[in-house]
Amino acid sequence: AVACAVCSASASLVMLNSTATDRTLVGFGGLSGGGATSRLLPSYDDDTKAEILDYLFKPNYGASLHILKVEIGGDAQSTDGTEPSHQHTEDDLNCDRGYEWYLLKEAKARNPDILTYGLSWAWPAWTGNFTDSPWNAPAKAANYTLNWLRCARDSHSLDIDYVGSWNERSYSADYLKLLRRELDSNGFPSTRIVAPDSNWDIAGEMLTDPELMDAVDIVGAHYPGMTSSSDAIKTGKLLAASEDDSTFGDNIGTGCWARLLNRNWVQGRMSATIMWNLLASYYPGLPWMGTSFMWATQPWSGHYQVKSAVYVTAHWTQFTRPGWSYLAVDSTGGSGFFAKGGTYASLVENADGTGHFSVVMEKIHHDRSKCVRPGLPEYSVEQESVTFRLTGPAAATAAAQGKLALWTSVLRYNGQESTLFEQQAPIPVARAPDGSVNFTVTVPVDGVFTVSTMLTGPAKGGVAMPPSAAPFPVPYSDDFNDYPLHSEPSYFADQAGSWEVLDSRDPAHGLAMRQMVPQKPICWAGDYAPVSVFGETTWTDVNHSVDFMIDPESSATAAASIGARVTGTTRPNGVFVSVGLDGTWTAYYNLGDGKSAAQGKLPVDVKPSQWHNLALAVTGNLASAWLDGIALFENMDVSTCNCPSGWTAVGTGWTYEFVWFDNYAVNSAT
Ligand code: 147
Ligand code: CA
């Protein structure tokens, strides 16, 4: 142990040598997508959207994120829904679909230095030459990815910093090398590749394949459990937890996150950590609800929630910047473990140790920092007085200022109030005879503290509480006539397939929403047939109707469907009825099991290009459905559905078809 001259005998001594610079900080960020996790955000009013985006992205305000990672929409289910592709088909190109462009631009508007990163979960079928993998047609897949970057640059003035390959699926060295060459020869030399967005295994191949080594700039692994591999470290590349957390956003989730933010560096030498997901703006009832910095699930009420992770993240993001250098994990470096548990990680502005200096400490109790995955080995923490001995250029900076900023958070549980990102009186500092600067801090259990030379700048922003939560407004109707072309109409949460607003060319209908995906994509989750859900997962008794038109480009198996009490994503349960070009109707309770509950002949012919109306009402155990006002069945017992409540839904039957919907009306829902 090092002798402690200036501190009390009971304090531990920690050395912070600001010349012991190590790897570069990439940054701390959030992930929108993988998938459809920001789906409801665009439907909020503009002022509320601005408030939410400020909490996430505005510098010196809230989470002040360094990195925004987004999904490159692939027309297939990617956890909480589908995100639309910029190329549904090889001939198609549209640079305005979805909400990720919006989010990227809003993030950049608040912080021009925010780093941006795109990654595919699913791919349109054509990108893999209609096989099950994009790696079967690397040239097509690379051009598809390049087109997304061109959309970003040419339509949205966004220079994307990082691009990945295929989320948590196989990587292809051929693809990664080709992508690097294509990026370089097509005007994207500064867009860097992160791979493989799964585990560390690619590192071994990088060590034996120089071209692959050159192609990959950052080795990114998911849920790495704070550890990387020796091969990954041997590559010399920056390492990232390019997706992490996924833990429900209460204070335990925030504890998980705080632990990761320090220990991904201290234990695994990762210099980026990205939370899945950025914003819980998807319907409660979908998978992984609320594993996010904030919740925004009610555009109709304006209600949203700011979680403790927003301000805890500020301890890192507001006191460091991408490009700063970590101090080494070493007893004479500047990052490591405290004697009584917990960690500290130091960063300096410049690689020579000059400029600003910050040290972030966390002492979250093991049981209150568990993430959803992977398991967390036992450790213990105790309150501890720590004397830090700062040396090198940062000591001179601190001494010249005469003080260091101290900001604290202490997470509390069981209804007790936490302190979140509170500015304390600065710590007075002076040079010791040996030139060092010494300061003592008592770090409590469940505390997150930052000490920094940044005396000004960081701030705790926020606005008054938003309105309270309220039920979805019923009756509700939408004629889709007031949306931009190619946009997604409010509240429809596509779970397979992808709908967008287009001109129906029928003056009686004007704009309507059309299912756009021509065949099953290269899926990430195993989609079945297009289906989009709507409303509240708590709805039991509903009466709703929709106009539909089967597009003349559809196949003979095309159908239009409507559902109630729907739960699930790719193969949902619920009470569904489909009417098809084959002249029959079918009632069924699961989209994927191939079973029908009842069938019959249609009372009127359904032909392509004709508009019809389909209505479904479910009350108690009884369901009724109508086509153009004529009953298909009435008061049918649906108790064997085992679907007590859920969203409403529309769909295209059992195959990928182009089906239009208009005048959607929820007449009643409770
Ligand atoms: C990740 C996905 O990349 C995200 O889109 C989202 O689904 C997230 C939810 O936690 O999970 O996928 C994973 C799925 C399983 C594991 C890791 C990541 N796993 O079992 O280790
Ligand atoms: Ca219309």
Ligand minimally distant from the alpha carbon of residue 502: 2
Known catalytic residues are 168, 243
The DSSP 8-state label assigned to residue 328 in this structure reads P
Ligand 1 touching residue 569 (CB < 6 A): no
What is the Cα–Cα distance from 57 to 103, expressed in whole angstroms?
Answer: 10
* Atom number in ligand 1 closest to CA 374: 21
Q: How far is the CA of 72 from the centre of ligand 2 (A)?
A: 29
Q: Which of 278, 279, 373 to mutate for ligand 1's pocket (most ligand atoms within 8 Å of CB)? A: 373
Cβ atoms within 10 Å, residue 468: 9
Q: How far is the CA of 522 from the centre of ligand 1 (A)?
A: 18
DSSP 396-409: HHHHHHTEEEEEEE
Residues lower than pLDDT 70 in the chain: 1-9
Ligand 1 touching residue 276 (CB < 6 A): yes
Q: What is the pLDDT of residue 25?
A: 99
What is the Cα–Cα distance from 664 to 75, expressed in whole angstroms?
Answer: 22
Ligand 1 touching residue 645 (CB < 6 A): no
Q: In sequence order, what are the beta bridge partners of 405?
A: 452
Q: Which of 32, 71, 223, 291 to mutate for ligand 1's pocket (most ligand atoms within 8 Å of CB)? A: 223
Burial of residue 435 (number of CB atoms within 10 Å: 0-12, 13-18, 19+):
exposed
Ligand 1 touching residue 167 (CB < 6 A): yes
The dihedral built from the CA positions of residue 28, 34, 37 and 39, taken in this order, carries a sign that is positive
* Atom number in ligand 1 closest to CA 372: 10
Ligand 1 touching residue 79 (CB < 6 A): yes
Q: What is the pLDDT of residue 225?
A: 98
CA–centroid distance for 117 within its chain? 12
Q: What is the pLDDT of residue 561?
A: 98
Question: How do residues 470-490 score in pLDDT, each as one tens digit?
Answer: 999 999 999 999 999 999 999
Q: Which residue matches tokens 């029928």?
A: 506
Ligand 1 touching residue 243 (CB < 6 A): yes
- Which residues, in sequence order, are CB contacts of 369 under 8 Å at separation 6+? 252, 255, 256, 258, 259, 376
Ligand 1 touching residue 201 (CB < 6 A): no
Question: How do residues 122-144 score in pLDDT, each as one tens digit?
Answer: 999 999 999 999 999 999 999 99
Burial of residue 116 (number of CB atoms within 10 Å: 0-12, 13-18, 19+):
buried
Q: What is the pLDDT of residue 260?
A: 98
Q: How far is the CA of 663 from the centre of ligand 2 (A)?
A: 6
Q: How far is the CA of 511 from the centre of ligand 2 (A)?
A: 4
Ligand 1 touching residue 166 (CB < 6 A): no
* Atom number in ligand 1 closest to CA 167: 3
Strands 216-222 vs 238-245: parallel, antiparallel or unpaired: parallel
Ligand minimally distant from the alpha carbon of residue 508: 2
* Atom number in ligand 1 closest to CA 246: 10
- Pick the closest to residue 421 from 309, 346, 336, 276 (CA basis): 309
What is the Cα–Cα distance from 120 to 175, expressed in whole angstroms?
Answer: 13
Q: Do the Cβ atoms of 199 and 226 come closer than 8 Å? A: no
Q: Which of 117, 222, 570 to mutate for ligand 1's pocket (most ligand atoms within 8 Å of CB)? A: 222
Q: Which of 32, 70, 79, 495 to mutate for ligand 1's pocket (most ligand atoms within 8 Å of CB)? A: 79
Token pair of 630 as six digits: 């004529």
Report in angstroms the alpha-carbon separations of 255 from 29, 251, 274, 459.
16, 6, 15, 21
Shortest-distance Cα residue to atom 14 of ligand 1: 168
